[in-house]
Structure 1
Amino acid sequence: MRRSLAFAVTAALWILPVIPAHAAATPLLVVTLTLNGAVVFANPEGSSSPRLTDEELKGFGTKLMGCWRIAASAVKSLNTEPIEIMAMLNADGSRAGPIGDMTPSPKNNPAVDALHDSAIRSVKRCIPVDLPSAKHDRWKVILVRFAPFERQAQSGSTVVEREVYVRSPTWRNVTEAVTLELGERLTGCWRRSAAKAELDKLPRISMQFQLKQDGNVAKEPVFYDDDPTSPSKNAPKGAARDNAIKRAKAAIYRCAPYSFLPKSTFTHWQTIIADF
């Protein structure tokens, strides 16, 4: 299904969106992503550099919308408060420092954690950005707001692609880069298991699987619903759930061996829970 994107580029007379008090720097570009499209605000203050054109702003919004995917376990939290992610960028579009999650996440809420994780992944997926280096002073600090149900954009329909979110009951000493790669690999393998139209109709489920130290699957993956926040709790028994389990198992096996996982931290990733 093709995305229909709607964009709004705010004029210089508009009021700058509220910035968190604990933000390290004032963002020069604020992008709000909704299920209707993207709203891009360019701060007119703080630089004598030429302003970004409407086309440049629209292109930046297009790219960010294309990078936005939502973890299956995060869907139940789409009506939560906006997630705000800040990034400082170099003139070549690369990251100049850590990406900051500016929105406090409630404790002991895996679904909201998944939404935060999806937001951070989406920003990382879009870096380096493609904006003119001569105007670097206009975009060196950006704030991306993930606000699915805000109606700031013009009407339209936007399909946000599902992705696989991975976690583990023993998930310690596993770097963010490894977590990101594992999730993206499983997402790619899952999408190859069936046509997109069929996958979109599948109920969201969790699967648990164990790995050997060489990255191969140690035991047959099993349907996981022990966690009360798991998307499996909303997947009633029947043919649709059986098909979702079948597709998830196929993706887990297709991605093996997971040889990129560091052997030195094997005990921390040998058991994995994946939300499809």
Structure 2
Amino acid sequence: MQNRLTIKDIARLSGVGKSTVSRVLNNESGVSERTRERVEAVMQQHGFSPSRSARAMRGQSDKVVAIIVTRLDSLSENLAVQTMLPAFYEQGYDPIMMESQFSPALVEEHLGMLARRNIDGVVLFGFTGIDEAMLAPWRDTLVLMARDAPGFASVCYDDEGAITLLMQRLYDRGHRHISFLGVPHSDVTTGERRHLAYLAFCEKHRLTPTAALPGLGMKQGYDTVASVLTAETSALVCATDTLALGASKYLQQQGRDALQLASVGSTPLMKFLHPES
């Protein structure tokens, strides 16, 4: 079995001194971009990362946690992050924020960089397309948000339950023409699960489903909501608060303020504009 490489080995393979490797590891200045890329390439090729014991001996236990969100402008994810930060600060951890933009390749790139810097842990907001094999090295130090994966700590939303609860409350209030605005099924959780829950409720209660799946953005909600409205529509369920905000602007412009609007989420802006929803 091959022995674990040391900083001295990486320096030799890269053709630089140990101090240069240390500066690259600590992301310090004083190293040319070309040299930095060469050292990082050698470390990646050999799967090198300095041991935690070595870091501790040098007094370099940084206590840093990375939070990888799908979008920096995601209202729901920002709310979740806001609840995490005080807990991290209380335990002496410094959080850093990163964005995946729903790109598995970008997640892999972020995780590779974080591994080389010996980050203490990762909170990853999951999405469809992430390969569990990519996450395997982080099994003990990663928490997956909004997705579940065998062997990983995860925090998941009850997508089906949330939609069913909204539909039941609307049904109990006498609504029988309930439309739905959602997300494409390429998003398994927010998209497929919530849409299927809506369809299942409609089938169970013999309601006629009227749905569109435009996406996640406010403008998509605004541009698409008209396609799910009929003269009989008395209520609208949106898969996210963001979609609901876009839909609400259209409803106000069309003078349909009486239509009951319901959505999944807890966005302060939504509560402010529609306290009754």
TM-score range, shorter chain: under 0.3
Using structure 1 for the length normalisation, give the TM-score.
0.24
Using structure 2 for the length normalisation, give the TM-score.
0.24
The structure in which a higher percent of residues are strand is 1
Query: Which structure would you say has the larger Rg?
Result: 2
The structure in which a higher percent of residues are helix is 2
